[in-house]
Structure 1
Amino acid sequence: MASISPIDLQKALEGADYPASRDDLVALARNNGANDGLVDKLAHADMDRFDGPNDVQSAVFITE
């Protein structure tokens, strides 16, 4: 799978309200047109709740 860029992640989560659940962020990413690889990374993140973008970035990029 191609690497996910921080810019792609930011675009996918545009409009997110934090704290947010993993399911809410997955739905938002899909609605924002994120690619399947990014959505899959979010869906399988080890955290159920994110307090902000840094939490999401840590969870997504730590699993790459």
Structure 2
Amino acid sequence: MAETPNPIQIQKFLGGVDYPASRNALLSSAKDSGADENVIQALEAIPDREYDSPTSVSSAVSDSNS
């Protein structure tokens, strides 16, 4: 599996996201921002729910890869 991106790498591609945001909204924003495959895979691995802040996204990515 690819290396898990760190929270800063992920948030770089999520600028301008209006929270709360669904996983699909986060993926769409990341793709529109030119996110690389590692970031896309990390976001695809998080639970499909509403995220209320960048911190909750980072926590979900960390949890899904531990």
TM-score interval, smaller chain: 0.7 to 0.9
Cα root mean square deviation, aligned? 1.2
Per-residue CA deviation, residues 10-56 of structure 1 (Å, 9 max, x unaligned), is 11111110000110000000111111121111122124110111110
Distance 2:39 2:30 in 1: 8
Q: Is the 8 A contact 2:4 2:42 kept in 1?
A: no
Q: Is the 8 A contact 1:47 1:59 kept in 2?
A: no
Distance 1:18 1:47 in 2: 15
Distance 1:58 1:25 in 2: 14
Q: Which portions of structure 1, spanning 4 or more consecutive aligned residues, are displaced by more than 2 angstroms?
A: none
Structure 2 length-normalised TM: 0.85
* Matched positions, count: 64
- Structure 1 match to 2:59: 58
Q: Is the 8 A contact 1:18 1:50 kept in 2?
A: yes
- Structure 1 match to 2:31: 30
Unaligned segments of structure 1, at least 5 residues: none
Unaligned segments of structure 2, at least 5 residues: none
